[in-house]
Each structure stands twice: as C-alpha cells, then as structure tokens.
Chains A and B, each alone.
Chain A
Amino acid sequence: MSVTNPKILMLGWELPPFNSGGLGVACYGLAKALAKKGAKITFVLPKRVDLEFDFMDLEFANVNEPEEKMLSAYSTLHSWLVDAGIDENFPSDFVSGALQYAEKIKSIAMKVKPDIIHAHDWLTFPAAVAAKEATGKPTITHVHSTEYDRTGGHSPNKSVFNIEKDGLKNADKVISISKLQIDLLQRIYNLEKQKIELVYNGSSVFKKEQLPPALGHLKEMGYKIVLFLGRITLQKGPEYFVQAAKKVLEYDKNVAFVVTGSGDMIEQMIGEARDLGIIDKFVFTGFLREEERDRILQAADLYVMPSVSEPFGIVPFEAIANETPVLLSKQCGVAEILNHVLKVDFWDTNEMANKILAVIKYGCLHDDLVWESGKELPNINWDKSADKCMQLYRQLI
C-alpha cells in the first residue's frame, strides 16, 4: 500500500476511440491525470479492444456478448432493446452485461491487489460490489450519469435504478460531477450528503487547430449556423431546439439549424421541424467523429445544448476549443463552472431564441464569448479533478 502511488483498480465501460459519448472521454482524461500524479492504475474494460497506454495497464473482463448486443453506456432500456433487436419481453437480458462483468472481475481484482476500487457508472457497479467483496478494499463509485437523467425521469428502468442504488450504498465514497447531480443523488437516490464528494470534470481539449471550412454552401447563401450536437434523445432536449428555431426564424430567415448526432428521437425531431414548416432550414449530418465533428463546430456561429437534464456535459468544452460560443441550459452541470457562456432554462424557448438572435445580431457578443471562454477553458482541466481524487484516495487508504 502506498499513499503517494496508490494502486487503483478502475472499472470502466469504454475508452476512446471506442466510446459512445462523454463517459469514455472522462475516464480517459481522469485516468491520465491521475497517473501523472502517481496513481498506478489498472483500467478494466468489459471487452477486449485494440488499445494500449503507457500510463496505465488494461484488463478486459471479456464479457461474452456479441458486439451488436453490447450495451452503450448511455442507452435507455427502450433504445437498447431496439438497437440490440431484442424483444421487450426479455428485460432480464438488459443488465446481463453488467452482471457478467461482475462475475469476471473477481479474478482480476485478486491479481491486481488494489488499494482502491474506483468504478465509473452503473454498468460497473455490480463489478465494484464484487471487487470489494473479493479484496475488502475501499470503493469509490463515480457517477457520471444516472438512469434518472438518461430517461429524463420518465419511467426509469427499475433494475438499473436498483443497481445504481446498491452500488452507491456499497461505496465508501461517491464522486459526483456537479451540484446539480448531488442534489439528484440526495433527492432520488436518498444518498447522504456526507458520503458525496464533488469533483468536476476537466476539459481534455483547449484549442483546436483551424480546419478546412465546412458547410460552405450555407455560409455562401448568407446563413448563420446554429448547431445542435449530441445524441438525439429525450435527455438532450431536441424538441426545445426545434421550438426555439421556429421563433428565431420568425425573426430572421437567414439562420440554418444544423443537427449533428443520432438517437431515438431523430424521427420525432424531423417530424416536428416539418410540422412547424421549418424543415428547409434544418440540416441533419448524422453522427460525426473527430475532425469532421470539429469542422462542424468551427463552422457554427453558435453551439446550443438545450439538455433537459445533463449531470455534466463536455461538448461545450469542444465547442469552446473550436472557438464557437456556447448557449447551454441551466440544467447542465457544466453550467456551474463555465462563466463565459450563455445560459437559459431548457423550457424557456423564447429566451433561447432571444439569446440565439443576440449572438447572431451582435457580432461583438459572439467575439467576446469566444475570447473569454477561450481564456477560461484552460483553468478547467483534469489536473484539478485528479488532485481531488488523490486527496480522496489518501483519505480512504
């Protein structure tokens, strides 16, 4: 056991580039910063992937699931069933991946002999319980997103909810990533406040290089570009984006609304834009990665994140790194640490439209937001998050 170089068994579900969203990015950013501070990390993934890192060891739980049935970290029961082509009558399969992970973890834990077990999100919570049983070591559960967020509070899956509750109860400490989420953990999961530690996420990107311009045809036609980028699911509030778009267009016709991402609400989103008679102002790019994603961000005059319930939300960091101003809902945890962005309640589509129009109309507002947020971003880094985790490790060892 070492306080300066604690051995951490870190349980995750994904790492970039094999990730479906922010969870993988966050795990990677944190693990790397922790390693720099002396933590010896063994990171466990459910399935073997072709990855290697010089700052930590990888282990694979080899969860025996065919690729297409592997549950994305952010799926809701419904979308997972649809994606995996499973009949809704078999909900017991839903959590099988997580449970298999737990079964496989014991041997890995015995081999690694960690000082601390650090588990990220519910899919790894059963494994965390098992690893704690096997080693008797202090366990931290790190909550990035809850079932309650993912479903927007609409009929959260009972099994998942119970796994989350168990995992939180089993943990010696719970890391939460925003005050917004701490409030939810107390309210919905009855978690006592003393057990929770607030550790904000950091940004992994600070400044992106200038890329070849995208959406040139729209710009040539004189359109300003307002961007939605993220999974098109209930949680992300796509319908509020469409409603705000309608109000913006009543005032200024030269605005195009670009939607980047995929998800179970895409058809509904398209339908709504069509019903409102503004579908001709919408561009759907589908899911984009890396450079293409950055190019879209750089092309946008404003990035909007109208999430209904976002425990944190790291896309604003990417937008800022690409010199795009940000408008986000006050229901995003990241709004707690970003000062130089515009904020709005997700349901207040009048105000959302007002702010979108302000950025479009007043060029200096656009420029100041870019300039100030660009200065602010480097102060929101994983180093700070890792410091707080290391402090917590020392406390528990």
Chain B
Amino acid sequence: MPSVCLYFQAHQPLRVKKYRIFDVGNDHKYFNDFSNTNLNNKKVLSKVAEKSYLPANELLLKLLNKHPDFKISYSFSGVFLEQLENYLPKVIRSFRKLVDTGRVEILSETYYHSLAFFYSIHEFESQVALHEATIKRIFGVKPKVFRNTELAYNNDLAKWADNKGYVAILAEGWDKFLGWRSPNFLYKPKGTKKIKLLLKNYKLSDDIAFRFSDKSWSRWPLTVEKFARWVNRANGNGNVINLFMDYETFGEHQWKEHGIFEFLEELPGKILEHPDNNFVTPSEAAKKYKAMDTVDVPYIVTWSDTERDLSAWTGNAIQNSAIDLIYALEKDVHATGDERIIEDWRKLQISDHYYYMCTKWFADGDVHKYFNPYDSPYEAFISFMNVASDLKLRINKKLGVEN
C-alpha cells in the first residue's frame, strides 16, 4: 500500500456550428462545420488524436506490456466513440488493443456527456443504457463502476448507482465535505448499502493535469522522482491514491515538448520501485479496500473550477435558460417518435454547449477561454438557441402543432 488508481476521461463534444437565426427552418444539420475553425469537430478530433490519443495509447500499451502490474481505466463518452467510429476508426482499434490486455477497465457514464441526472432521471437512464450498449458492442465488456459527467456527484446519484448494482462511483475529493478526512481512502456514500466512493486526489491529479508545464508553479519542474515521493508519502496513511484527469492531459493540455510523455513513460516503473506500491482499477480498489467512513454530499460537487460546483455549466441566466429549454422539450421530443429528432435533442444535451456559455471569466477565465471554440459565451448561446428554435420547429411540425 498505497495503490495508485489511474483514470482518464476521454471526450470530445459535438460543437454546434455557427448557426444564424436565418438558418432556422432551413438547415437541420447542426454539427457539420467544415471550416478551419475549432467548430469543425472532425478537425479538432483529428488534431487531438494525433497529438494525444494515438501517442498516449501507444505509450500505455508499451507500459502495460512492460509492467505486468500496471493498470489503468478510462471513461469514454458515447459521442467521443461515435465520432471516432465515423472519422478515425484507427483510434478505436488502438483503444481496443489496450482493453484487450485485460488490465484496462472502462467506466460507465452517460452517452451524451450530459447533466441529465439533475434534469430528467428517465433521460439519464436512457443515456446510461445507450452508453453501456455501445461499450459492449465496441469493447465487449460491461462497466461495473459509474462516473458522472465532470464528476458531478451527490448523495442521490450514489443511491441510484447503488440500486443499479455498481460496485463503485467516482467523485472529487473535495475538502468541503471531506473535512479532515483524506481522499486516499474509500468511503460509503450516505444512504447506500454496498457501493463504495472513490475520491479524486485533486492535489496530485492536478499537479500533472494542470501544473505540469506551469513555470510559475513553485514546484516546477515536476519530475517522476518528485511525484513518486509525494505518492509514497501516503504510505501508511491511505489506501489508494486516485489520479483522475482528462486523457487529453497527455499531449494536448500538456505538450509533448514539455516532456509529458517522458513523465508518463517513467511513472509506472517509478511508482512500482517502492515494494509497497501497486496499481489498481476502480473496481479492484472497491474489492480490495473497506469503506472507512460515511460521507454526506447533499449538494452537487464537480471537479471543475475553484467552486467545484455546476456553476461553469449553469451559473448564469443564458446557460440556465438554454438548458431549461432543452429539458422542457423532453415529452414532445419523445412524442414525435422521430429518431433523428431524438438524437439531435440528445446531442444538444452535451454539457460542453453550456460550458461554452460560461461568463465567470475572472478567476477561471483562462481555462474557460482556452477550451472555448467560440469567440465569446454569447456567440455560443446565440448559435445554440437558434438551433434549439429549429429543433422546436421540427418537433411542432411533426406533432402538427402551430408555432
């Protein structure tokens, strides 16, 4: 002990193209930008695949072959896999090679990387089922551990996952509900029977994900030796160190030129140098370790921003009116029975759409601007709302309702 649990989130949204009010009623393709901008989903996917997914997969396969005790886990959004199948099947093949080692676990989530749990349980369950079917079809496995979009978590979600038979659920190891307790243990979510809670060690995770190339950080540069020392410090005072991060950390957020791949390459060997250390997947951690205490999270906690709440997605009026509008359509969408309408409606639930409308720029501005393919949150809102108007028009037409 301690065990290290590595989990990577791999996701690419379907960004809404520049869609003007004059397009409403005329153009029903919302995600087919083929310009040279970052609204071109295929272009972004190809770029990130070259910089991140492919080299990282290749390296991790090498590491899995080299270290028989090395293990990792992923969560893939359905829209990510769908885009890869459409545009870059070779990336799917390389992920499959990793899963075929038997030491790569895939987690469960919503197909559309949505916040549906907080708006419509019925829709949420449909998306989880859709995701499960997709994972089964592509990788031939059934996920046993649940993690929600952006690690958005509360007691109710834990209860839901417990009822559904998941062995573990993931969340941010946030001090606000942990208090003096350490994220390096497993916990029992309040009101559940069997499920265990794995908490992200955000300090160590973010040392890699956010600070690796940050020269203004007092601990820069981050060497593997230094990092392994910090991990070893938990020895005797923790069971598992959960390093949760975006998969794009490798090569996209942190650049190859800054040595992120060298860091990753040396990491497993360095961690395993200490005889007490090992690697686990989330379901193995749940099996191996007992829950130390019960944690109560009555409010929503995410892994985002200094607030660790949903304010990056639903923090202002434009975000709320956009997301409310989409979920208000649910009944009518299903009433149409039109597969394409249902699919487009679901694609509009991708949480990134709302993230792009975030206006709290001052504390977290840099991150938000970096990830925003639109010139401003208002541009994102305008295109999105115009698209939603078009979708509404299609729904009403199908249902024979006057606009």
Question: Are A and B a genuine interacting pair, yes or no?
Answer: yes
**Contact code string A325-364 (vs B, CB < 8 Å = 1, else 0):** 0000000000000011011000000110111011001101
Given the known inter-chain contacts A342-B378, A358-B386, please indicate yes or no for A364 contacting B361, CB distance below 8 A. no
At the interface with chain B, which of A117-125, A305-313, A366-374? A366-374
Nearest B residue to A367 via CB reads: B317
Residues on A with beta carbons closer than 8 Å to the beta carbon of B385: 358, 361-362, 365
Which one of A351, A362, A367 lies within 8 Å of B20 (CB-CB)?
Answer: A351
Question: Is A251 interfacial (CB-CB < 8 Å)?
Answer: yes
Interface of A is mostly: helix
Given the known inter-chain contacts A339-B361, A358-B386, please indicate yes or no for A365 contacting B381, CB distance below 8 A. yes
Question: Is B375 interfacial (CB-CB < 8 Å)?
Answer: yes
Residues 358 to 396 of chain A near chain B (Cβ within 8 Å): 358, 361-362, 364-365, 367-369, 371-372
| A365→B22 contact, CB < 8 A | no
Distance between Cα atoms of A371 and B316 in the complex (Å):
10
| A350→B382 contact, CB < 8 A | no
B interface residue numbers (CB < 8 A to A): 20-22, 316-318, 320-321, 359, 361, 375-376, 378, 381-382, 385-386
Extra contacts besides A358-B386, A368-B316, A368-B317 (19): CB < 8 Å: A247-B22, A251-B21, A339-B376, A340-B359, A340-B378, A343-B375, A350-B20, A350-B22, A353-B21, A354-B20, A354-B21, A355-B382, A358-B21, A358-B385, A362-B385, A364-B317, A365-B318, A367-B317, A368-B318
Nearest B residue to A361 via CB reads: B21
Tell me how many residue pairs across A and B have CB atoms closer than 8 Å: 54
Which one of A247, A353, A361, A365 lies within 8 Å of B378 (CB-CB)?
Answer: A365
Distance between Cα atoms of A357 and B389 in the complex (Å):
13
Residues on A with beta carbons closer than 8 Å to the beta carbon of B320: 364
| A343→B376 contact, CB < 8 A | yes
Residues on A with beta carbons closer than 8 Å to the beta carbon of B317: 364, 367-368, 371
Residues on B with beta carbons closer than 8 Å to the beta carbon of A369: 378
Distance between Cα atoms of A355 and B20 in the complex (Å):
8
Interface of B is mostly: helix
How close is B196's CB to chain A, nearest CB, in angstroms? 41
Nearest B residue to A251 via CB reads: B21
| A357→B378 contact, CB < 8 A | no
Nearest A residue to B321 via CB reads: A364
Residues on A with beta carbons closer than 8 Å to the beta carbon of B318: 362, 364-365, 368
How close is A347's CB to chain B, nearest CB, in angstroms? 16
**Contact code string A150-189 (vs B, CB < 8 Å = 1, else 0):** 0000000000000000000000000000000000000000
Residues on B with beta carbons closer than 8 Å to the beta carbon of A355: 382
List 4 tightest A-B contacts by C-beta distance, closest first. Answer: A354-B20, A364-B317, A364-B321, A358-B382
Residues on A with beta carbons closer than 8 Å to the beta carbon of B22: 247, 251, 350, 353-354
Interface centre among A247, A342, A353, A365 (most CB of B within 10 A): A365
Residues on B with beta carbons closer than 8 Å to the beta carbon of A340: 359, 378
Distance between Cα atoms of A364 and B322 in the complex (Å):
9
**Contact code string A232-272 (vs B, CB < 8 Å = 1, else 0):** 00000000000000010001000000000000000000000
| B20→A365 contact, CB < 8 A | no
Distance between Cα atoms of A167 and B20 in the complex (Å):
46
How close is A375's CB to chain B, nearest CB, in angstroms? 9
Distance between Cα atoms of A343 and B374 in the complex (Å):
12
Distance between Cα atoms of A353 and B23 in the complex (Å):
13
Which one of A247, A339, A365, A367 lies within 8 Å of B382 (CB-CB)?
Answer: A365
How close is B378's CB to chain A, nearest CB, in angstroms? 6
